[in-house]
Structure 1
Amino acid sequence: MSPGDEHDFRGMDQGGRGDDPYSTLGGTRQTRTRLPDGDAGHPHARRPVRNSRSLITITGVVVLLIAAIAFANRGGGNDDTASPTTKNPGAAGSAPTAPTGTKPVQGKNGTIASGFAHDEQGAQSAAANYAVALGSAEMFIAESRQSIIQATHDPAVAQKLQDDLDTAYSPAFYKNVGLNDDGSTPTGLTFVSRTVPVGTKVVKMEKDAATVEVWCTGLVGLAGQGSTKPVTETWFTISQELRWVGDDWKISSSSQAEGPTPVNGDNRASTADEMAAAVDVYGGFTYAR
């Protein structure tokens, strides 16, 4: 499948553009505001605007992931007979990220946190952790991708999603994003794909089902000397429908939309070597609310 195959993502009427496959997770068609340049002596010159086509090529891979998730779970929409306990905690404003005394993560499933609490806190922690795993560079490798899907998804949808992703991550696709035909990284470069949750919100909570939104920023691209696809930043919101399966929260369906996206700051863009070194030195987090 291609990024244009899936336009009818659930939740796209909440800020996404359903007719634009690149307006979703990792999309590059955000509205950008250009502030006046400083004087000639400004120590941090604003970076030049990059060609949008190259950005689309780089970040399109994350769009494929979400498109495949939506495709694999299409038809499993909202239950019209929702439990009377359904509520909208987000209506009263965001909840503070503060210690509650409850351990949000009890164990591990491979490298992914598991054993989340059977409550709102556990659902939010699961959604944030799963967003990190699904946006990682390991998703570009067939073996680790299978492990991630199995660890994060309801078994009822996992195999279909796995099949769709195996088709999507083709040699031609890898070539388009600058990787080798088998998904490996060219010699001398470092492939970067990271998702960083900024906040979570419970949209719906039932006894054994929850809908959680995760506001994220992400990095994707190739770092290193000679890279033609530099690491870029994206902003997006993932909506995950979770079910309580096998004593843990698992994803049954997922969709996303771009933003909210802040105005770019005046930070100096790091060199290719600096970015590659940072990715090697700084490890990822296990997120928990």
Structure 2
Amino acid sequence: MVRDVVVTVPGVLLVLAVLRDVFHTLFHPSGQGSIARQVMTQVWRLTRRLNPRRQLASLPGPLGMTAVIATWGALAVLGWTLIYLAQMPDGLSYSPSLDRAQRSDLLDAVYLSLVTVATLGFGDIVPTSPWLRLAAPLEALVGFVLLTAAVSWVLQIYPALHRRRVLALQLATLHRARRTTGLGVDSVPTEVLTDLAADIVQARLDLTQYSATYFFRDANPDIALAANLDYATELGHDASTSTDPQTRLAGALLLTALDALAELLDQQFLHVGADTTIVLHAYAADHRHAN
């Protein structure tokens, strides 16, 4: 009895930890599941140590998401394996074609957990104890939840990445246009400056809700926000010194949005404890876009 409890309790805790992490990653306003965050961070660090070639520079994000989903699945399978293992062999019924003398309780528990979470249900090993007959369908439900969570996560992450890349491309295009024409900041409509400020606020919200987007590195500097925030800062400072009050206000809005974004980047990812300019430089360096 004591052995059953010692094995079952960690299994239940593992399953609950996975479900909690899925909830915090996909639905909680902070968008930070502890398991997902740790896995994404380790993949990010590993790819930096390996110093990948430029054409491989965009892989940490997709690889990290794949590793997170695989970790969720593996921990869920392990948790249910422990639950089944505590009840073997008395709590289960074996097909007559299976020789019990040659069975391994651990391997059978892993097998049952895998076929149940995948909703295959071969029927050669079947729970017979009353509570296991309720637990097995719950594992199938957890498997469905994990599959749905994986799809939902992808559908959440990529629109946020698209918005970030559009903002970066807007900044890069504006920078190139001003450099080509040689016009000052007063030539930039205030609506453009305020729209940029709003888009930076949106980027901050996306990073708050979907922290995994930080670990997506864009090799092309035109669509990499990390490579273009320096110009946004320059644009904000230039606008804030304009003789036109509307342009000064728009510049102040842009700088305020950048300050808030830098604060979030520093608190959650960079930890440099410096001002906005240094934090944004550290962000660019972390994404391999330092000048």
TM normalised by structure 2 equals: 0.22
Which of the pair is proportionally richer in strand? 1
Between structures 1 and 2, the one with greater helix share = 2
Q: Which has the higher contact order (CA 8 A, sep 6+)?
A: 1
